[in-house]
Amino acid sequence: MGINADGTLRPSRTPSDPDSYDSGDSSILEHEGSIFEPFKDFCKHRFLWYYNTYLNAIEIERQKVSDGQPFVRMPFEHSGNAMEGKFLYSELERRIKFVRERLDVETDSWVAEGRALVQRESGVAANLQRQYEQTVEYYKRSDSVTLDVELVDNNPFLWRVVCDFVPIS
């Protein structure tokens, strides 16, 4: 995500304007953040899934201790095997919110990159447009679930999906 350990951002190599892409569609995969990495994407998805739970847990635990209060040493801990440190829930909250902010920026960049690829009439955009059309047709024929799928601003990289559950009798 381009976040250094100290919380600063590494400079991004992703081009900010669509004209800076090479002529081949594969060039977009060479830029930082554009390579499909399933495990990293899974971790990001899970982070977003539990984001509110993390913030709620921080709020609950913050009421029990104050920032800067040292950890209590447990009876089984001894020198060389101790969990030394102090509680910093305010810092933890700031860091979690910053990660969320960076994920939102990353997601917004996909929309912008997608819009640029659509304007260039790239193969990637055409393939995704076709997948969208196939998905819409599939769910029109499906009786098990009702999905309303549409493109936002005619961008095949940004879908709006609304699900209406059909009660099972």
Give the mean model confidence (pLDDT) for residues 100-129.
88
Q: How far is CA 85 from CA 5, 77, 88, in A?
A: 17, 13, 9
For residues 3 and 102, what is the distance between their CA atoms, to the nearest angstrom? Answer: 9
CB 129 within 8 A of CB 115: no
* pTM of the predicted structure, to 2 decimals: 0.65
Tell me which amino acid residue 78 is. H
**Helix spans in 27-88 (H):** 38-62
Tens of pLDDT along 2-61?
787 777 888 865 444 444 444 344 444 444 445 677 888 889 999 999 999 999 999 999
Q: So what's the pLDDT on residue 11?
A: 82
| pLDDT of residue 160 exceeding 70 | yes
For residues 118 and 126, what is the distance between their CA atoms, to the nearest angstrom? Answer: 8
Q: So what's the pLDDT on residue 132?
A: 92
For residues 161 and 152, what is the distance between their CA atoms, to the nearest angstrom? Answer: 10
Q: So what's the pLDDT on residue 31?
A: 43
For residues 117 and 34, what is the distance between their CA atoms, to the nearest angstrom? Answer: 13
Q: So what's the pLDDT on residue 140?
A: 85
- Which residues make beta-bridge pairs with 9? 3
CB 31 within 8 A of CB 17: no
Classify residue 29 by its DSSP letter: G
CB 2 within 8 A of CB 10: yes
Question: In the chain, pLDDT over 90 holds for what percent of residues?
Answer: 34
| pLDDT of residue 144 exceeding 80 | no
Question: In the chain, pLDDT over 70 holds for what percent of residues?
Answer: 82
* Mean pLDDT, all residues of the chain: 82
| pLDDT of residue 106 exceeding 70 | yes
Question: What angle, 0 to 180 degrees and rounded to 10, lies between the N-to-C axes of helices 89-119 and 38-62?
Answer: 150
